[in-house]
Chain A
Amino acid sequence: MLKNWQSSLTVAFVALGILLSVQFHTQQAALKELSSQGQEDLIKVLTAVTEKRNDLYMEKTKLEIQKSALDGASNQEQQLVKSMENDLALFEAFYGLKPLKGPGIVITVPEQQYLFNSNQLVDIINELWNIGAEAVAVNDYRITYYTSIERDPETWEPVINGTRLSYPYVITAIGDPQKLAVNIKIIGGTLQLMMYDYKMRIDIEQKTDLLVPIAREKTTFRMAKPVLNSQKP
């Protein structure tokens, strides 16, 4: 049998143990709270927090400067890429690597007629370039710097890039339709001569939406190499 004092003292000790333990935890939590800390501790905490805040503010400023520098570089890069893309598109259009569309005129020689041959075709094309045509095609053959136009030795019919054309000959030119339609019939010009002197039937139509296909020949440089600015003598 337990003695009377042992049981009651044990109960009190259990309660005391719980109180001690709980107080320990409570005190640890209280120490972490700012409201329970002394003035000196709070000053230390405040100083440390202020220093940390200043450091973070400087870090933020530094990062903002870096970001703006990177943004500037990125913008310059984007502008450069855009400019290069524009240049590339221009070169591709010039060399017939991309189809082109726009307003312009269509000159049609509908049937076999006396004296129409490759020389007249070349004259008409050259006159179109001279009066402001930006892209020209003949029977879906894009005319570029490298297009060859010859005549068939027997029939004198036009031969483009080695392929003899057949009627009707359709010359498509993209440019200002009004200007092209008027100027191509200038007195003394090839078409004026053909239409009024030789009485050939040639149709000229203004169109708002024409398509000039890509060139069929490929432009390659075997011997020629571009001269860079830094290599100029």
Chain B
Amino acid sequence: MWLPILGLILGIILGQAQILTIPAAYAKYLGVAVLASLDSVFGGIKAVMVGKYDSDVFLSGFFFNALLAFTLTFVGDRIGLPLYYAAIFVFGTRLFQNLAIIRRTLLDRWFPPKEMQ
């Protein structure tokens, strides 16, 4: 798991170097896209832990969800409907679900449940 963490650090450093700049007006859209990406990442970690990981599904979901969240928010702003609420709700809920599964899996791994008598 150390390699993805190194990748995260590398990504943060690259971002600090401001290789990519987004106009301030798009801050909200990017924020929702970040939430979608977090959901995908935690979903990927969960899938690895439960042994159901598929890299194609993961990578496509990662980028597609981020793009979809960004687009939803953008379109919602244009039509006067806060569609990003839907993205926040869905990705937020899934984020917590995935985190809960990861937590439980780790707990089971570190502290195996005792057999019922």
Bound Cα distance from A17 to B3, whole angstroms = 13
**Interface residues of B: mostly helix, strand, loop or mixed?**
helix
Q: Is A2 on the interface with B (CB-CB < 8 A)?
A: yes
Interface size class of B (residues with CB under 8 A): 35 or more
Within 8 A of A (CB), among B31-87: 31, 33-34, 37-38, 40-41, 44-45, 47-48, 53, 55, 58-59, 62-63, 66
B106 within 8 A of A: no
Q: How far is the CA of A93 from the CA of B18 in the complex (A)?
A: 81
Q: How far is the CA of A26 from the CA of B58 in the complex (A)?
A: 27
Q: Cβ of A17: which chain B residues have Cβ within 8 Å of it? A: 7-15
Query: Cβ of B20 < 8 Å from any Cβ of A?
Result: yes
A18 and B20 alpha carbons, distance in the complex (Å): 8
Residue of A nearest to B6 (CB): A10
Task: Among B7, B9, B13, B55, point to the contact of A4 (Cβ < 8 A).
Answer: B55
- Is B116 engaged at the interface, CB distance under 8 Å to the other chain? no
Contact of B11 among A18, A27, A35 (CB under 8 A): A18
Q: Are A12's CB and B24's CB within 8 A?
A: no
A187 at the interface (CB under 8 A from B): no
Give Cα distance in the complex from A25 to B21, angstroms.
8
Contact residue among A5, A12, A22, A25 (Cβ-Cβ distance under 8 Å from B62):
A12
CB distance from B102 to the nearest CB of A (A): 13
> Residues of A with Cβ closer than 8 Å to B?
2, 4-27, 29-30, 32-33, 35-36
> 12 A-B Cβ contacts within 8 A?
A5-B47, A5-B58, A6-B4, A9-B44, A12-B7, A13-B41, A16-B11, A17-B15, A19-B33, A20-B11, A24-B15, A25-B21
Given contacts A19-B30, A26-B26, A30-B28, 16 further A-B contacts (CB under 8 A): A5-B48, A8-B59, A9-B3, A9-B4, A9-B7, A9-B41, A12-B41, A12-B44, A13-B5, A14-B8, A19-B33, A20-B11, A24-B15, A26-B30, A36-B24, A36-B27
